[in-house]
Amino acid sequence: MLRLLAIEFHKLRFSRSAKILVTTYFILITFIALIASIEFSFGGATFRVADQGIFNFPYIWHFNSYVAATLKLFLAIVIVSMMSNEYSNRTLKQNLIDGMSKKEFVLSKFLTVIGFALLSTIFLFIVSLILGLSFSDYTEMSIIFSDMEYLLAYFIKLSGFFTFCMFLGVLVKRSAFALGFLFIWWILESIVNGLLRWKFFRGGETADNIVQFFPLESMAILVREPFSRLNAVQTAATQLGSEFSKDYGIHWYQLLIVIIWTAIFVYLSYALLKKRDL
Amino acid sequence: METILTLNNLTKRFGPITAVKDLSFTIEKGNVYGILGPNGSGKSTTLGIVLNVVNKTSGDFQWFEGNESTHNALKKVGAIIERPNFYPYMTAAQNLKLVCKIKDVSPDKIDEKLKIVGLLDRKNSKFRTFSLGMKQRLAIASALLNDPEILILDEPTNGLDPQGIHQIREIITKIAGLGTTILLASHLLDEVEKVCTHVVIIRKGEKLYSGRVDEMNASHGFFELKASDIIKLQELLKKHPSIGKIVPKENCLTAFLNEPMEPETLNTYLFEHGLVLSQLVKRKESLEEQFLQLTNQISA
């Protein structure tokens, strides 16, 4: 396993574009801290976003994993191109001739994907911990380490998404087209989602129950948007006479759906590679 | 003798086209093999199958008497197929280091192998700055990294300039001299003739011949004869039991032998019957002529 990771690391290490994208990605995650400095005046009173409780434990776990997940596209580009470049440089062929099996090849890519997801999670944990310790109103141990399941959800979500990208890279063989395909897939899911919601199952939860099984949607709903959960927003909503009753929690079956998608994408990548003549 | 590779009734179909048909042959240690065939005869497909990049339709093959899985066996093989494939953004040395990691061998030999192919001074240049000849030489260095039991080369001189071709051939001869088994696919006959001891000839995916180069043709050679009285010469030759087909060519005759005969015997026979030759040459077919003969026999 270490050998496979070492091989993949060697391939990425010397690629300038991969290095730039990965570095940008991690720097951007640390930029979440900059939200703290946002200030705006509202009818004479000065608001500081940091004071609105977004960096309070345990809410910060939810908030940060949601915000950080939007940056995943940077790594998606790296992953798609690390797959499709093997095709366009025909190095995949050479790797196999040199004595890598197709299984090892897919495994080395998948391990890298998991590595990226794990690294992001650890990095996010550290950034959030530092931010929280500096701004949170509560710093008791038991509070700091509650609601950690958001990080687990973040990890599963990234793994699933990156594996999807990996599969698209194998399927389409050209990085630009694979990213285009990802976008088209997202539009398709949105259209079906919209149709189900507004046309076929108006009202009720049938539409939700169906779309939660779609690959991108299942990843998207793992960590729901945290903004409406803020005290300030909640209070404002109550004053306007509407009530949020949203489920922000992480559910095991949602995690399971994404894990199953991950397994399917890994298997499909392998099956595709096995079937193809190079 | 140790067997390195065995092919049994290997078949590959691409849709309606059969690229390789029921191909069987054996590669034994220490020999230099040539796979000969016109373009599109299935050479590269055959090599692709045994190198794990093309899926076979039926039949099977075995590396090293079947004691290992194909991908592990390939770690003991050095192979270059068609054009060299490396990561363009890595330097020569970085690319070779990666190959070492895949083949599970130590990277100590990188410099040594780069020296063999004459690229040591360019080891820190990026692959994308290399010319085709240099890329091809780097591919050879990469194939040699694990001191392979067998070196497989598919059209190694394709697309190179005469100087590049010469360099590659010299390297191959040098490696063959060290006793490494080599399998060389080519449509260039003189290339095969110069280095190979054994040859496998395929056409349209079918094997026409496999065996030693010098035993390739059952023919015993032919005479090229000239005399002032060419009609009498032809009549006399027809009467001789050892002579088969006679082909007139401008002002000389080519007489093919049915059984071995020395030039002196023929000369004596003709002289005794009152004919003096002005030219007598005994020749064996070159590989090219034999090859053309073989491939034409089947199509005719």
B155 and B175 fall within a common domain: yes
Q: Is residue B277, in this structure, part of any structural domain at all?
A: yes
Output the CA torsion sign for B285, B287, B288, B290: positive
Mean pLDDT of chain B: 86
Q: Which of B51, B79, B89 shows the shortest C-beta gap to A15?
A: B89
Mean pLDDT along residues A59-71:
89
Mean pLDDT along residues B100-115:
92
Give the CATH number of the domain where residue B102 resides.
Answer: 3.40.50.300
Which chain B residues touch A84 with a CB distance below 8 Å? none
Q: Is residue B99, in this structure, part of any structural domain at all?
A: yes
User: Which residues are B18's β-sheet partners?
Assistant: B13
How does residue B112 score in pLDDT terms, banded at 50, 70 and 90?
very high
Given a cut of 80, whether residue A38 has pLDDT beyond it is no
State percent of chain B over pLDDT 70: 97
Relative to beta strand B206-212, strand B198-203 is antiparallel
Give how far Cα B112 sits from Cα of A202, B77, B92, B107, B141, Å: 72, 18, 13, 10, 9
Relative to beta strand B150-154, strand B181-186 is parallel
Q: Is residue B293, in this structure, part of any structural domain at all?
A: no
Which of the listed ranges A87-91, A196-200, B164-168, B208-212 does the model predict with the highest average pLDDT?
A87-91
The number of residues in chain B equals 300
pLDDT tens across B60-93, in order?
Answer: 999 998 888 888 899 999 998 878 899 999 999 9
Predicted confidence at residue B298, as pLDDT, reads: 54
B32 and B165 fall within a common domain: yes
Predicted confidence at residue B158, as pLDDT, reads: 82
How does residue B247 score in pLDDT terms, banded at 50, 70 and 90?
confident
B194 and B279 fall within a common domain: no
pLDDT tens across A201-250, in order?
Answer: 777 778 888 888 999 999 988 888 888 777 667 777 777 766 656 777 88
How does residue B300 score in pLDDT terms, banded at 50, 70 and 90?
very low
B233–chain A Cβ distance below 8 A for any pair: no
pLDDT tens across A243-272, in order?
Answer: 656 777 888 999 999 999 999 999 999 999
DSSP tally for chain B: helices H, then strands E: 10, 13
Q: Which residue of B has its CA nearest to A16?
A: B89
Q: What is the DSSP letter of B74?
A: G
Mean pLDDT of chain A: 88
Q: Is residue B178, in this structure, part of any structural domain at all?
A: yes
State the total domains in chain B: 2
Angstrom distance (rounded) from CA B93 to CA B107 = 9
Q: Is residue B124, in this structure, part of any structural domain at all?
A: yes
Angstrom distance (rounded) from CA A136 to CA B175 = 70
Given a cut of 90, whether residue B159 has pLDDT beyond it is no
B279 and B137 fall within a common domain: no
Query: B225 phi and psi, to 5 degrees?
Result: -125, 145
Angstrom distance (rounded) from CA A255 to CA A160 = 10
Relative to beta strand B277-283, strand B222-227 is antiparallel
Predicted confidence at residue A263, as pLDDT, reads: 97
Q: Could you give the strand order of the β-sheet that contains B198-203, starting from the edge strand earlier in sequence?
A: B77-80, B150-154, B181-186, B32-36, B198-203, B206-212
B268 and B126 fall within a common domain: no
Task: For an interface test with A, give the residue of B98, B138, B154 to mutate (most A CBs within 10 A).
Answer: B98
Query: Are B55 and A277 an interchain contact pair (Cβ–Cβ within 8 Å)?
Result: yes
Domain boundary among B184, B212, B240: B212
Mean pLDDT along residues A50-76:
86
Which residue range forms the structural domain that includes residue B199?
A: 3-212
Predicted confidence at residue B299, as pLDDT, reads: 52
Of residues B214 and B211, which shows the higher confidence score?
B211
Predicted confidence at residue A241, as pLDDT, reads: 67
Q: Return the half-sphere exposure (C-beta side, CA atoms, 13 A cut-off) of residue B254.
A: 9
Q: Which residue of A has its CA nearest to B91?
A: A14
Query: Are B101 and A278 an interchain contact pair (Cβ–Cβ within 8 Å)?
Result: no
| CB within 8 Å of A75: residues ≥ 6 apart | A21, A22, A25, A116, A120, A158, A162
Q: Is residue B291, in this structure, part of any structural domain at all?
A: no
State percent of chain A over pLDDT 90: 53
Q: Is residue B53, in this structure, part of any structural domain at all?
A: yes
Q: Which of B83, B101, B103 shows the shortest C-beta gap to A6?
A: B101
Q: Comparing A41-45, A198-202, B132-136, B239-243, which segment has the lowest mean pLDDT?
A: A41-45
Predicted confidence at residue A242, as pLDDT, reads: 65
Identify the CA nearest to A170 among candidates A109, A94, A261. Answer: A109
Give how far Cα B88 sits from Cα of A90, B130, B237, Å: 11, 9, 65
Question: How many other CB atoms are found less than 10 A from the CB of residue B204?
Answer: 18
Identify the CA nearest to B45 among candidates B19, B23, B70, B25. Answer: B19
Q: What is the 3-state secondary structure (H, E, C) of chain A?
A: CHHHHHHHHHHHHCCHHHHHHHHHHHHHHHHHHHHHHCEEEECCEEEEHHHHCCCCCCHHHHHHHHHHHCCHHHHHHHHHHHHHHHHHCCHHHHHHHCCCCHHHHHHHHHHHHHHHHHHHHHHHHHHHHHHHHHHCCCCCHHHHCCCCHHHHHHHHHHHHHHHHHHHHHHHHCCHHHHHHHHHHHHHHHHHHHHHHHHHHCCCCCHHHHHHCCCHHHHHHCCCCCCHHHCHHHHHHHHHHCCCCCCCCCCCHHHHHHHHHHHHHHHHHHHHHHHHCCC
Predicted confidence at residue B255, as pLDDT, reads: 85
Task: For an interface test with A, give the residue of B50, B86, B101 to mutate (most A CBs within 10 A).
Answer: B101
Query: Are A14 and B75 an interchain contact pair (Cβ–Cβ within 8 Å)?
Result: no
The distance of A126 to chain B (nearest Cα, Å) reads 33
Domain borders along chain A are 2-275
Angstrom distance (rounded) from CA B219 to CA B248 = 19
B284–chain A Cβ distance below 8 A for any pair: no
State percent of chain A over pLDDT 70: 95
Predicted confidence at residue B218, as pLDDT, reads: 58
Query: Are B53 and A96 an interchain contact pair (Cβ–Cβ within 8 Å)?
Result: yes
Give the CATH number of the domain where residue B277 resides.
Answer: 3.30.70
Given a cut of 70, whether residue B13 has pLDDT beyond it is yes
Query: Are A91 and B87 an interchain contact pair (Cβ–Cβ within 8 Å)?
Result: yes
Relative to beta strand B181-186, strand B198-203 is unpaired
Query: B230 phi and psi, to 5 degrees?
Result: -75, -25
The distance of A166 to chain B (nearest Cα, Å) reads 19
Query: Are A14 and B86 an interchain contact pair (Cβ–Cβ within 8 Å)?
Result: no
Given a cut of 90, whether residue B192 has pLDDT beyond it is no
Mean pLDDT along residues B222-229:
86
Angstrom distance (rounded) from CA A208 to CA A247 = 13
Q: How many A/B residue pairs have CB atoms within 8 Å?
A: 80
Question: How many other CB atoms are found less than 10 A from the CB of residue B234?
Answer: 15
B242 and B134 fall within a common domain: no
Q: Is B285 left (phi over 0), alpha (psi -120 to 50) or beta?
A: beta
Q: Comparing A64-68, A151-155, B95-99, B213-217, which segment has the lowest mean pLDDT?
A: B213-217
Predicted confidence at residue A137, as pLDDT, reads: 81
Query: B34 phi and psi, to 5 degrees?
Result: -120, 135
Q: Which residue of A has its CA nearest to B100?
A: A98
The number of residues in chain A equals 278
Q: Is residue B7, in this structure, part of any structural domain at all?
A: yes
The distance of A2 to chain B (nearest Cα, Å) reads 11
B115 and B167 fall within a common domain: yes
A3–chain B Cβ distance below 8 A for any pair: yes
Predicted confidence at residue B281, as pLDDT, reads: 87
B240 and B110 fall within a common domain: no
B233 and B201 fall within a common domain: no
